[in-house]
A and B are shown apart, each in its own frame.
Chain A
Amino acid sequence: QKEVEQDPGPLSVPEGAIVSLNCTYSNSAFQYFMWYRQYSRKGPELLMYTYSSGNKEDGRFTAQVDKSSKYISLFIRDSQPSDSATYLCAMKGASNTDKLIFGTGTRLQVFP
């Protein structure tokens, strides 16, 4: 079993839809949770960063962490064609030597 599980999709939604992307994990030591967006043939770019449990909102994006369920989510409101990309969840523990563990990514397609 992988430490981080993420549905690869693809997820296809119409413009304006609310998108929900999710990851589950098995390691209870994870403390830091991130969402990266990766456009085709580009490097990942950080979208959201959350420490421990709770919600964080940034514009159209909301990240949620439920440590009791070992489940994290990224919501995108009013989705746009420019949101079409692969979304990677990532997480790690508190130690400086802990490595960042990525999900395999969910491919999102927003059509006009």
Chain B
Amino acid sequence: DSGVTQTPKHLITATGQRVTLRCSPRSGDLSVYWYQQSLDQGLQFLIQYYNGEERAKGNILERFSAQQFPDLHSELNLSSLELGDSALYFCASSPRGAGGRETQYFGPGTRLLVL
């Protein structure tokens, strides 16, 4: 158990809908990362937050947004969902967000299925 929690574990929704994925980092970790994992693209970095502020952005679609709250939990919002958004979404956390010098600990993921 990495100490990172994600809810829900599974989500089934329809195209055009909006969903929110939630992540609680390990105790004491200030940085949260969101990743998308699909069969054809592998694990893709979406966005990073450090202590409530956006620190780095990857290939995150404009339909997706995220935020990190004062208690350090983070939410990833996915809107106008398309079939191609079906994937595993992982959250990871690290102590200070100091890039490669730190280990990222991954949560169990949320499996999203868009029908």
Chain A interface residues (CB < 8 Å from chain B) = 31-32, 34, 36, 41-46, 49, 51, 88, 90-105
> What's the minimum C-beta distance from A34 to chain B, rounded to whole angstroms?
8
Whether B99 contacts A94 by the Cβ 8 Å rule is: yes
Name the CB-closest residue of A to B42.
A104
Count CB-based A-B contacts (< 8 Å): 67
Residue numbers in B under 8 Å from A92 (CB-CB): 99-100
Whether A97 contacts B43 by the Cβ 8 Å rule is: no
Q: How many residues on B have C-beta within 8 angstroms of the other chain's C-beta atoms? A: 27
Residue numbers in A under 8 Å from B111 (CB-CB): 41
Whether A45 contacts B2 by the Cβ 8 Å rule is: yes
> What's the minimum C-beta distance from B99 to chain A, rounded to whole angstroms?
4
Q: Out of A44, A88, A94, which one reaches B100, CB within 8 Å?
A: A94
B98 at the binding interface (Cβ < 8 Å) = yes
Q: Complex formed: what's the CA distance from A31 to B106 in Å?
A: 21
26 A-B pairs within 8 Å (CB atoms) are namely: A31-B100, A41-B111, A43-B2, A43-B4, A43-B92, A43-B107, A43-B108, A43-B109, A44-B90, A45-B106, A46-B103, A51-B101, A90-B43, A91-B100, A92-B100, A93-B99, A93-B100, A96-B98, A96-B99, A97-B55, A98-B100, A100-B104, A102-B42, A103-B42, A104-B41, A104-B42
Residue numbers in B under 8 Å from A36 (CB-CB): 106
Q: Complex formed: what's the CA distance from A36 to B33 in Å?
A: 16
Q: Complex formed: what's the CA distance from A44 to B29 in Å?
A: 18
Whether A105 contacts B42 by the Cβ 8 Å rule is: yes
Residue numbers in B under 8 Å from A101 (CB-CB): 45
A88-B43, A104-B42 known; A96-B97 Cβ under 8 A: yes
Residue numbers in A under 8 Å from B108 (CB-CB): 42-43
Within 8 A of A (CB), among B56-96: 56, 58, 90, 92
> What's the minimum C-beta distance from A51 to chain B, rounded to whole angstroms?
8
A44-B90, A97-B56 known; A32-B45 Cβ under 8 A: no
Name the CB-closest residue of A to B91.
A43
Name the CB-closest residue of B to A6.
B42
Whether B106 contacts A95 by the Cβ 8 Å rule is: no
Residue numbers in B under 8 Å from A90 (CB-CB): 43
